[in-house]
Each structure stands twice: as C-alpha cells, then as structure tokens.
Amino acid sequence: MSQTVFVINGPNLNLLGLRQPEIYGSETLADVEERCVKLSKDLGLAPKFFQSNAEHEIIDLIHKARHEAAAIVINPAAYSHTSVAIFDALNTFDGIVLEVHISNIHAREAFRHHSFVSARAEGVIAGFGTQGYELALLRLARLLNRSGA
Ligand code: DQA
C-alpha cells in the first residue's frame, strides 16, 4: 500500500506561477501537484497537497499528519523565517520531515537565510525550482525503503 505524504505549502504559494515568476517560475501549484502525483505512482507514495496562508491552519495540518502521514514535505514559505509555532508542531510529528524552498534562500536577503523549520527537517532542498518537490519525494522513497533514488 502507498504511504501517505502530506505536502504542505505556506503563505502566498497559492499564487505560484503568477507571483514573482522570475524567482518562483511560471508553474502553478496544481502543475507541481500533477507532476508529483505522477512520479509518486512509481515510488509507492501517495502525496496529499495542501496550501494555507494561515499559520494556525498549517499547524492543524501538521497535527492531522500525526495520525495520517508517514512523512511531511513542507514549504513553510515566509513562516520558515518567523514561526517557532510551526517548528514546535513539527516536533509533535514522529515521521520524516523534508523542507523545500523553490528559490535558493541563502542567495537572497539575509532575513531568509535562517529557517526555524530546518532544525527539525531530515533534509532541506533549496534553489532547485519546483523540481525540489519531486526531489523530496524521491528522497522519501529511499528513506521509507521503497524504490527510488
Ligand atoms: C520560499 C522562500 C521564502 O523566503 C519565501 O518567503 C517564500 C517561498 C521558496 O519556496 O523559495 O514564500 O519558501
């Protein structure tokens, strides 16, 4: 049976494809989800995509993942740099956490260089564009002992 992975996206990522395409590309979140779902069939993973602009909703999703998911792939967006509450929520989750940033946060403004979430993540992917989500799923397939990279 496929293992459930929550793919959680934070604020403003609902505008992916429209928002600063020179930084984040022209694909929408729905395009990314479609590619991830296709890839996951071969990996034995079942990704469930979520997006919220509200910190408390992201925390509630992480709590839900405690009972429903083997792993979380999270792009906390701007909350990466501000949210101790999301970090604390991730520490209530026993499964694997991978953090994704579409852009290379280390090559941008200094305030983006630190992420509270990174201290809880098994791995961090930044600057690989939206392909970062697929790379995270490939890594999960390996970590969850399935086929993959
Ligand atoms: C982001 C980087 C963050 O600094 C920014 O606030 C985002 C998106 C990324 O995917 O590159 O909204 O997480």
Q: Per-residue DSSP letters for 21-41?
A: HHHH-S--HHHHHHHHHHHHH
Residue 43, judged by CB atoms within 10 A of its CB (0-12, 13-18, 19+), counts as: buried
What CATH topology corresponds to 3-145?
A: Rossmann fold (3.40.50)
The whole model's pTM is what? Answer: 0.96
**End-to-end Cα spacing for the chain:** 19
Q: Judge if the beta carbon of residue 102 lies within 6 A of ligand 1.
A: yes
Q: Convert the pLDDT of each residue in 38-97 to its tens digit.
A: 999 999 999 999 999 999 999 999 999 999 999 999 999 999 999 999 999 999 999 999
Residue with the bigger pLDDT between 2 and 13: it is: 13
| Mean pLDDT rounded to a whole number for the chain | 96
Rounded mean pLDDT, 96-104? 98
Q: Domain limits of the chain? A: 3-145
Catalytic residue among 24, 67, 106, 113: 24
Strands 123-126 and 3-9, bridge-based pairing: unpaired
For 4, list phi and psi in degrees, rounded to 5. -75, 130
How much distance in Å is there from the Cα of 1 to the middle of ligand 1? 33
